[in-house]
Structure 1
Amino acid sequence: MASSTRKKILNTLQIGKDYTVKPAGLQWRSNTFFIVATVAIGLFTDLFLYGLVVPILPYMLHDRIGLPPDQIQSNVSGLLAAYAGASVICSPLAGLLADRMTTRQAPFLLGLTALLGATVLLFAGQTLPVLIVARVLQGISAAFVWTIGLALCLETVGPGNLGKTIGSIFSFISVGNLCAPLLGGVLYEKAGYPGVFGIGFAILAVDFIMRLLVIEKKVAKRYDAKDASVGDRDTTTNNERDGNAEEEQDNDEQQPLLGSKKEDEAAFKLSGNQPKLARIIPILPCLADPRLLTAFLVAFVQALLLGNFDATVPTVAQDYFHAGSLKAGIFFLPLGMSDFIVGPLFGYCVDRFGTKPVSVFAYTYLIPILTLLRLPHPGGKDQMILYGGLLALCGVGLAGIGAPSIVEAGAIVQKYYEVNPEWFGDNGPYAQLYGLNSMVFSAGLTLGPELAGELKQRLGYGNMNAVLAGICAVTAGLCFVFIGGRPKVLSWRKR
């Protein structure tokens, strides 16, 4: 009896590996909604703490470190670059590590540990090197959280429901990205550093508890298996294939990316003659697929646009309307609210109609909207309303370009995995995939502000947005050709 109780306690804490005794709360801890909610909270925490600290960095450098005013801007940019650089470097490493581990929970918790360390250093740091280390830890945390979180989402809901799941998650976390800078500024003004970091530590505690409680579905199925020693692929894969075979056949016409079985064998079969590096990083051969590269490009341009708005909205608000930091932050509300409202709708459309129509529509839609951003000029309330309205319309387009990239990349790599299961191993290549996706996104987020600032200074704000509209036009064309498979009109002309 004592032995059984001990096993149950160890399994409940996910320390033990005796699958004959079920842990407490197995059913709700492995529930799809709880797993997705845990991922959403993890991504929310990452973005929230990032945005919470950004508006007070200048004050930390001036008041706490004692830097002169002429060095503040360059060091703020350096701290932002430290975050992005660490994320770019660590994202593929996080994916490779996660795919070599039996479960996602350990690296997921590792990312949270890095974020906790970063928050402590930011709260207590008194020197510039300590703040740099803190920002690097934040970047490492972002790499693990986004890579592991997206891979866990795909494994939990499947590719057929990934679009609306990602759309809903992005709508939720956009609230954190939207409110954190405003909240950070208000808390710093009213309560100082303890107020800012107090709410940060509270959110970290909630995030830690949820990550500790979650049980992955593949782990939960081990407890239901008759033979506890049988691995995941032996206990789940065959049943899933048998149960979903008819459904996949019925939905085949709605998934242009996936052809017949023979076509898939020819298109997605990997050669056995691969270089040594490809055997160490199994996802590398997939990068020869132009559809996967286009999916990464979509993520890069999305981040490029987000970085552009982060860099230019505050300066335009200041130059055109003489707005302070609080009023400038309010201009981010239309962007975030549009994403929050229509994000799930676009995610549903991706699942229902495919990635091609949504991505082509969203990028084509952004072309005239970005061009119209040359209309606002210095003035009063009417110009502020015009600028806010155009930002809200931009937010609609940004909401539409989030899900297609992730869903498309996941569908392509899943097909490679199905055709070449022995190449990728039991865990598949999904964490590696989202590690690369996170790396590309972080690179776009890093380049976006630099590109926007340079273009705005050299060409002016209106022409800068015209260049971004041109980038969207090129991206829309590439989406039409590659995303979701080759369009029928091009296939017909080829024949």
Structure 2
Amino acid sequence: MLETRLNQDPDLTQRTTSGLLSVHGFATLILTPLVAIAADKTPSRKTPLIIALIVCLGGTILVALTPNLWSIYVGRILQGVSGSAAWIICLAMLTDSAKEGQVGRMMGISMSVVLSGTVGGPSVAGGLLQWAGYWPAWSVPIGLILINIVARIVTKDLPKPSAISTPPSRSGISTDGQDLSGERDVETAETSPLLSQSANAHDAPCEDKDDPQNAEVSFYYEMLGDCRILSSISTTILFSILIAGFNTTLPVHLRTIFNWGPSDVGIMFLLLRVPAIILGPLMGWARDHIGLRYPTTIGWALLAPLMLCLAIPTGPENHGKAFYITCLTCTGFVTTLVQGAGVLHTITILKDIESRRPYIFGPNGGMSRVFAINEVAFNAGLMLGPLLSGMLSEAVGYFSMSLTLASICLANAVFVWSFFERGIAQSKNLK
């Protein structure tokens, strides 16, 4: 697009491409929280979703037309903001409609679908561009967005779950104390153990409060003041840092130690991502049944030595290639333990707070803003990952970079172990 349609100097292509990618992430960081607040203020999720899809369609068409460079920047901003808005609204809809004990599995399925698009999208686009031409390649995303708009128009709107909470029952307590139900009624037993914990961590219980309709406070002040939320954010941002770090350093590193080209590097990326596509639903089911604390902690603990192992091979001698491929495949499987855990844990904390203090985040709750927190964290990691990994790799070497990331993974395992389990002891006593 830059060189053929705009006749830009090829020497400027890398710089311009980096700028287009950065402005997408920057716009998402700034505007996603505002979009989420607006989504939570509206009584329906259907209308803001349709608006987001229409804006995304306009941004995509603007980028495809490529009349000038500034239009591409504007189109990328529209794509980023509207795409993030559609993402958080759809996740909120999935959570609202999920049955008790099935949010983890539904999230796992959705993540598998997303990863399939992430892995398959560039391949489909590249093939169509090469074999059919420019506009046939763009017809796929434009057509998919149009189908989505029509589907949302004809789909019946689901009412948002009420922020009102009634006394919790004990039928849905998970073994790890994590409420992953997504049930519209927030009175699941899962909230029961968290009530006792939260009463110590925050204000007095709901019955000691004034009228809950007058209790609405700043959502981000309340949520970000909770260490459990911070542990969720650390999991989300560190996962995206690792993904972005692989994207930045893997091609150069593999070319240096094994002299591998683009096709070989592409296969390595498949080894990283395909396990998550296959195991996503299974991991979601496991989280619904055993909770989040144990698999997430184990995942971060295992990633620490794997990051070091990936930096050990220095050449094809002594089975270096086989060792590297094995370690990278294991990394792909282990990342399924931590992927999406931050989002699910944040949902748990939201339900805890709303069950204890109804209407604190407004009559429609704060579900969209929960996903906005994780969306901002993920995009922050995508921006920090290339900077951190790239600078460390150049300044101190690939092994030292891997050692630094391994240390961060290990520290996050301790953080998760400390704060993902809040309220478990009380839940066991209740049983």
Q: Normalising to structure 2: TM-score of the pair?
A: 0.86
Instruction: State whether structure 2 residue 392 is matched by structure 1 residue 468.
Output: no
Alignment match, 1:202: 143
Equivalent residue of 2:236, what SS? helix
Tell me: CA distance 1:67–1:268, structure 2 relative to 1, closer, same or farther (3 Å).
same
Preserved CA contact (<8 Å) 2:216 2:362: no
C-alpha distance in 1 between matches for 2:197 and 2:401: 43
User: For residues 445-484 of structure 1, what are the structure 2 equivalents within 5 Å?
Assistant: 445-484=382-421
C-alpha distance in 2 between matches for 1:127 and 1:384: 45
Preserved CA contact (<8 Å) 1:62 1:69: yes
Alignment match, 2:349: 412
2:73 corresponds, among 132, 149, 154, to 132
Instruction: State whether structure 2 residue 81 is matched by structure 1 residue 156.
Output: no
Alignment match, 2:51: 110
Preserved CA contact (<8 Å) 1:94 1:147: no
Sequence identity percentage:
25
**Counterpart amino acid of 1:427?**
N
Once the two structures are TM-superposed, the CA of residue 426 in structure 1 deviates from its matched residue by: 2.1
Residues 325-352 of structure 1 show CA distances to partners (whole Å, capped at 9, x for unaligned) of 4443232111121111222222222111
Alignment match, 1:255: 177
Instruction: State whether structure 2 residue 206 is matched by structure 1 residue 284.
Output: no
C-alpha distance in 2 between matches for 1:317 and 1:201: 35
Alignment match, 1:96: 37
Preserved CA contact (<8 Å) 1:320 1:377: yes
Alignment match, 2:308: 371
1:176 corresponds, among 117, 122, 126, to 117
For structure 2, list consecutive stretches of 5 or more residues without a partner in the other structure.
179-189, 426-431
Alignment match, 1:389: 326
Tell me: CA distance 1:183–1:375, structure 2 relative to 1, closer, same or farther (3 Å).
farther
Residues 269-313 of structure 1 show CA distances to partners (whole Å, capped at 9, x for unaligned) of 65779xxxx957434212211011111111110111111112122
Alignment match, 2:169: 245
Alignment match, 2:134: 193
Alignment match, 1:436: 373
Greater helix share, 1 or 2? Answer: 1
C-alpha distance in 1 between matches for 2:238 and 2:69: 32
Alignment match, 1:146: 87
Corresponding residue pairs, total: 406
Preserved CA contact (<8 Å) 1:252 1:258: no
Equivalent residue of 2:54, what SS? helix
Alignment match, 1:225: none
Instruction: State whether structure 2 residue 153 is matched by structure 1 residue 212.
Output: yes
Alignment match, 1:425: 362
C-alpha distance in 1 between matches for 2:52 and 2:263: 31
Alignment match, 2:2: 61
**Counterpart amino acid of 2:31?**
C
Tell me: CA distance 1:265–1:436, structure 2 relative to 1, closer, same or farther (3 Å).
closer
| Deviating more after overlay: 191-200 vs 383-392 | 383-392
C-alpha distance in 1 between matches for 2:194 and 2:30: 37
Alignment match, 2:182: none
Alignment match, 2:185: none
Once the two structures are TM-superposed, the CA of residue 464 in structure 1 deviates from its matched residue by: 1.7
Preserved CA contact (<8 Å) 1:268 1:419: no
Once the two structures are TM-superposed, the CA of residue 171 in structure 1 deviates from its matched residue by: 1.5
Work out which of the two has the higher radius of gyration on C-alpha atoms and give 1 or 2.
Answer: 1
For structure 1, list consecutive stretches of 5 or more residues without a partner in the other structure.
1-59, 220-231, 489-495
Preserved CA contact (<8 Å) 1:321 1:379: yes
Equivalent residue of 2:360, what SS? helix
Instruction: State whether structure 2 residue 28 is matched by structure 1 residue 87.
Output: yes
Alignment match, 1:73: 14
Preserved CA contact (<8 Å) 2:22 2:383: yes
Once the two structures are TM-superposed, the CA of residue 211 in structure 1 deviates from its matched residue by: 2.4
Preserved CA contact (<8 Å) 1:336 1:395: yes
**Counterpart amino acid of 1:78?**
G
| Deviating more after overlay: 61-70 vs 126-135 | 61-70
C-alpha distance in 1 between matches for 2:257 and 2:198: 58
C-alpha distance in 1 between matches for 2:422 and 2:198: 16
1:266 corresponds, among 165, 178, 199, to 199
Once the two structures are TM-superposed, the CA of residue 107 in structure 1 deviates from its matched residue by: 1.5
C-alpha distance in 1 between matches for 2:245 and 2:347: 27
C-alpha distance in 1 between matches for 2:257 and 2:398: 11
